[in-house]
Chains A and B, each alone.
Chain A
Amino acid sequence: MSTTSYDQLRTLYRTLLVFATVGIVILGIGLVQFVYFEPPGQASGVQARIVGIYQFDPTTKQTIDGDRSEFPRTVEFAAVVDWSSIPSNLIVDARWYDSFGSIEGQVGPGTAADLANDTVIPVEVPQGYHYVLPGRYTFVVERLSDGVPVEVLGRRFVVVDRS
């Protein structure tokens, strides 16, 4: 067996191991990032009461009909939150996320007492669009710590049909 060839194979092998070490560092950074945004031990036990998801009239700013989990794309909708279900000094916000993870409507952040008048949180139609985009929407009421959301106090999923 040629010694040169064997050394070349070892070089390939060691190079791959170096790349793998870089890979482990990357995955490690990912893990640290995950822990930073999802810090352990953040369960406060507080539950936000989401009264429901309703059809929303943007002209009157009022909700219509009953609680639903599915809407046609031509209809706007909003979540109604009972802020009194949360301790008044807690820093919170409420957000709508579309299926791409973009924020499509928000109130807060502020204390639950500050947000007491913002009980209706509608989904916003993106600028330049006629209607909301179809897909799965997530509504969350979040507790913040140092400006970073650390805990979900309430969550609802809504499907917007394509037709």
Chain B
Amino acid sequence: MITSTTPPAADPESSLRPRRYGIAIAVAALVVLALIASSILNYVYLDTIPGRASLYGLLTVALITLGTYILVRAYDRDRASRRKHLIRAGVLIGLGVLLWLLVIDVFLFTQSAGPGVAAICALACLPTTAFGLLVVRRMDRNHKEPWRLVLVAAAWGAIVATSLVVWGETIWEASAQRALVPGPGLDTSLAFMAGILEELAKGLAVLLLYLVMRNEFDDVVDGIVYGAAVGLGFNFLESISYMTNVYSIFSAEGFGWVAAGIQWYGRQVLGLFFGHATYTAFIGAGVGIARQLHGRRQKVLAIMAGFIVAIAGHFSWDAWATVFPIQNTLFGLVEIHLRTLIMTGPFTAALIALLLFGIRYEGQNLLEQMRKEAGTGQGAILPEEVPTLASPWQRLKQRLQAFQRAGPRGYLRVSRLQTAQLDLAMERWHRERKEIDTPLEAEEQLRQRVMELRHWVAA
């Protein structure tokens, strides 16, 4: 039944946003301080090539942080000044990436395997990681995340999170190797190290997105998407690092490329969705659930729960993967797959369960809001459009029909109209649940945008 409702006014507690931004600034400041301290300590005490890379990489991290901030905020500005901000962001990120590649190539991979090998490894990992990001983004069937934020999340995972863990892992590893008995005890300690430090570094990105980009962070599904994107970014750089490392170790024996290829398959094909993507997606799930909870205690518990599952999943793989011995026979190939399935499969299955439940929860609520909006008679969503908008397949069918009628432009226009209508339903949902801090005018603007797009499509 379609009923007419008027959404309540925006949450009167308008101080919510500045408080949130304050926390975000504090977290970002801590990250920057940690990076600076880590780089200086690496340089002074480790006296190694990675230490220098870390120090020289600081400028890169600063450029990318500033660039991504300008980029994500650019979309909140009016069209006239957006272009200027996008160009600024593009230049800063471009400079940062170039500098980073230079640092990585010259000081890290060049030393171990050479820039050519590093470039080939990076090129090999690009399509698989891009495929992973594409799949992860498409997981949100009802309301896809903007590419810019998905890419920002992946960039954080690749560049900032990996830089953050360098010093912590170096100290932990060096201390453990000097103090513990080599073997299972040391392996367990190093598994705790990787689980705790790497998940904390990756999780910070999800937490910052939640604090800064609340309008694009709707629920558990969004959290899983952002978390998985951070994990895929981290996995990208880690894969390159491992591939170049094993290449340099085994190349003199004549099978450097085989060793690098095995690493690529294990990390970029078999483990693409099972490893880092799954672990960090749990952090995202926790943050996403917290986003919709009202009590502070519950919010904190949800976020902590996400981190605990991520750390436990990561730890269990690092600590117990060797429990499954891989034979040096053809059956070893089967065993490698079985090991991944048995060790990480349960975590991925649990995550998929959360994702499916989240998609259903989101879908039901969007449907309810679309019906209510249609019931207002304002024309942004028409009653006959509701069944189509509620089904991803029906929406695709409608876009394809538009494509047949008017080509790619028709497809794009209908796609934009559908997205705007879903944005409106999402806005209504958050307002009804009192979990939004934008004024009611924002909703009216969305409605106006839908009307404009509707005229555009009709034209």
Taking Cβ atoms with an 8 Å cutoff, the residues of A that contact B are 1-2, 4-5, 8-9, 11-13, 15-17, 19-20, 22-24, 26-27, 30, 33-34, 36-38, 73, 95, 97, 99, 101, 129-131, 133-135, 138, 140, 142, 149-152, 155, 157, 162
Q: How many residues of B contact A (CB 8 A)?
A: 53
Establish whether residues B302 and A34, one from each chain, have CB atoms under 8 Å apart when the complex forms: no
Q: How far is the CA of A150 from the CA of B182 in the complex (A)?
A: 10
- Per a CB cutoff under 8 Å, which of B192, B304, B433 touches A30? B192
Chain A residues whose CB sits within 8 angstroms of the CB of B302 once the complex forms: 13, 16-17
Of B15-23, B121-129, B358-366, B417-425, the one contacting chain A is B358-366
- Per a CB cutoff under 8 Å, which of A15, A24, A133, A138 touches B249? A133
Q: How far is the CA of A155 from the CA of B186 in the complex (A)?
A: 14
Establish whether residues B178 and A134, one from each chain, have CB atoms under 8 Å apart when the complex forms: no
Q: Mark B73-100, 1 if CB is under 8 A from A, else 0.
A: 0000000000000000000000000000
Q: How far is the CA of A105 from the CA of B123 in the complex (A)?
A: 38
- Per a CB cutoff under 8 Å, which of B177, B184, B220, B298 touches A33? B184
Can you list the 5 inter-chain pairs with the closest CB atoms, starting with the nearest?
A: A23-B312, A37-B185, A20-B305, A38-B185, A26-B312
Chain A residues whose CB sits within 8 angstroms of the CB of B183 once the complex forms: 37, 101, 149
Q: Mark B408-434, 1 if CB is under 8 A from A, else 0.
A: 000000000000000000000000110
Establish whether residues A9 and B361, one from each chain, have CB atoms under 8 Å apart when the complex forms: yes
Q: Mark B176-203, 1 if CB is under 8 A from A, else 0.
A: 0110111111111101100000000000
Q: Is B118's CB within 8 Å of the partner chain A?
A: no
A5 to chain B, nearest CB (A): 5
Q: How far is the CA of A3 from the CA of B361 in the complex (A)?
A: 12
Chain B residues whose CB sits within 8 angstroms of the CB of A36 once the complex forms: 185
Chain A residues whose CB sits within 8 angstroms of the CB of B187 once the complex forms: 101
Chain A residues whose CB sits within 8 angstroms of the CB of B107 once the complex forms: none
Q: A22-B312, A30-B188, A38-B185 are in contact. Are A5 and B361 (CB under 8 A)?
A: yes
Considering the complex, give the chain B residue whose CB is closest to the CB of A19: B309
Interface residues of B in 239-266 (CB under 8 A from A): 248-250, 252-253
Considering the complex, give the chain A residue whose CB is closest to the CB of B432: A1
Interface residues of B in 37-64 (CB under 8 A from A): none
Q: A16-B286, A131-B252, A133-B249 are in contact. Are A138 and B177 (CB under 8 A)?
A: yes
Considering the complex, give the chain B residue whose CB is closest to the CB of A100: B249
Q: How far is the CA of A123 from the CA of B440 in the complex (A)?
A: 73
Q: Mark B255-299, 1 if CB is under 8 A from A, else 0.
A: 000000000000000000000000000100110010011000010
Q: A24-B308, A38-B181, A134-B248 are in contact. Are A5 and B364 (CB under 8 A)?
A: yes
Q: A12-B354, A20-B308 are in contact. Are A150 and B181 (CB under 8 A)?
A: yes
